[in-house]
Amino acid sequence: MRTQVVIVGAGPAGLLLAHLLRLEGVHAVVLETRHREHVLGRIRAGVLEPGTVEVLREAGLGTRLDRVGLEHQGFSLRFDGTEHRIALSGLTGKPITVYGQQEVVRDLLDAAEPEPCFGVSDVALHDVTTDRPSVTFTDTDGVRRTLHCDVIAGCDGFHGVSRNVVPATRFERTFPHSWLGILAKSAPAHDELVYAHHERGFALHSMRSPELTRLYLQVEPGERLEDWPDERIWDELATRLGAPCEPGPVVEKGITAMRAHVAEPMRHGRLFLAGDAAHIVPPTGAKGLNLAVADVRLLSRALTALLLHGEEGDALSYSDIRLRGAWRAERFSTEMTELLHRSADPFEQRLSLARLRRIASSAAAATALAQDYVGISEDA
């Protein structure tokens, strides 16, 4: 068995990379240890930067996005008992789009040719520092297979096998709080996203559609879901957001630890990392999916140049370029996390309020925040 590119992982990074390569005439096989239903059922990020929307449209994946995606011209910050709107379009000329990651994955799977190999196991990468790498795996019939290729793309996330093959320096931070998130069948209580800084902790009001609301609460590390019945969650959301949300059936509930991680470099020989296999950002800045799309947009161009034209320049510079983007996202996501979450340190808590008040009173500070949020950077 042989292909030009083996992509490990059928999340949005891996599926989009395969799609972009196919459009350029590069053949790729996608391997995924989970089953199709699991991949489609993962509820993740839902805020798309304009650059991400542009990539999806250019790749022919914008039909449903344009029909049901929710374009937002701004978002709100609530603190000190007041609300201040960040007018993204007014400050930057660009909106963001609310469209769930699972919807992006659905669009990619509908367009996939060939279908990813789901449910494989015992995936192993070999000879990545040579020009004849390969990947071995066990298929769903229990048969051990070997895929020979020119390049391997590790898009299998933080817990996948790819990242451990790269002899990388790892930079990590664990934040002293977690997020309790719910997805509820209820109409959103606000037309745009609301980020709330409250003495009881951070809260976020988001949405996935006019009928589905996505809501988050800051909780302590180690808290258990059983300590948070639905009634308590709705009451706490109303307190922190300063207005009641319309309660509805909760269809998903979970607690997520907040952490940051960057692996340097993102390339080792003929193995290239993209998405969560290379970096994880705290979710406050809504950068994870957008960062993965930026990775594979550049990687698809680099591999096309390498495999079709023998040009190595973009492949050799891929890691350096995308690490700069990763650290920009880490900087902004960390700043947003520290800005909005309750700190146990009274000094830090007062600093957060001072920063929020400056954003509310300074056009320059609000513009800088808006530019970071929509993905505009002076050093991009």
In sequence order, what E strands does the chain have? Answer: 5-8, 28-32, 47-48, 70-72, 75-79, 82-86, 96-98, 117-118, 121-126, 134-138, 144-148, 151-154, 169-184, 194-196, 203-209, 212-219, 250-264, 267-268, 271-273, 279-280
| Predicted confidence (pLDDT) per residue in 238-250, tens digit | 999 998 888 999 9
Phi, psi of 38 (to 5 degrees): -65, -45
Closest CA to 262 of 197, 166, 366: 166
Element (H, E) at 102: helix 101-111
What torsion, rounded to 10 degrees, do the Cα atoms 48, 54, 56, 57 define? 130
User: How many whole angstroms separate alpha carbon 230 and alpha carbon 232?
Assistant: 5
Q: For the chain, how far is it from start to end, CA to CA, in angstroms?
A: 40
The predicted structure's pLDDT at residue 90: 98
Confidence of residue 322 (pLDDT cuts 50, 70, 90): very high
| Predicted confidence (pLDDT) per residue in 344-366, tens digit | 999 999 999 999 999 999 999 99
| Predicted confidence (pLDDT) per residue in 116-161, tens digit | 999 999 999 999 999 999 999 999 999 999 999 999 999 999 999 9
Statement: residue 378 has pLDDT above 70: no
Closest CA to 135 of 150, 114, 116: 150
| Predicted confidence (pLDDT) per residue in 24-67, tens digit | 999 999 999 999 999 988 777 789 999 999 999 999 999 999 99
Read off the pTM.
0.95
CB 27 within 8 A of CB 5: yes
Instruction: Quote the percentage of the chain above a pLDDT of 90.
Output: 93
Closest CA to 16 of 122, 116, 166: 116
CB 107 within 8 A of CB 39: no
- Kindly state the average pLDDT of the residues 222-249: 94
Statement: residue 379 has pLDDT above 70: no
Domains of the chain: 5-70+97-171+260-339 (3.50.50.60), 175-258+345-374 (3.30.9.10)
Cis peptide before 116 (omega within 30 of 0): no
Closest CA to 115 of 18, 34, 33: 18
| Predicted confidence (pLDDT) per residue in 271-321, tens digit | 999 999 999 999 999 999 999 999 999 999 999 999 999 999 999 999 999
Structure tokens at 142: 């229990």
Mean pLDDT of the chain, nearest integer: 95
Active-site amino acid positions: 72, 195, 283, 287, 373
Closest CA to 283 of 234, 364, 214: 214
Strand partners, 333: none
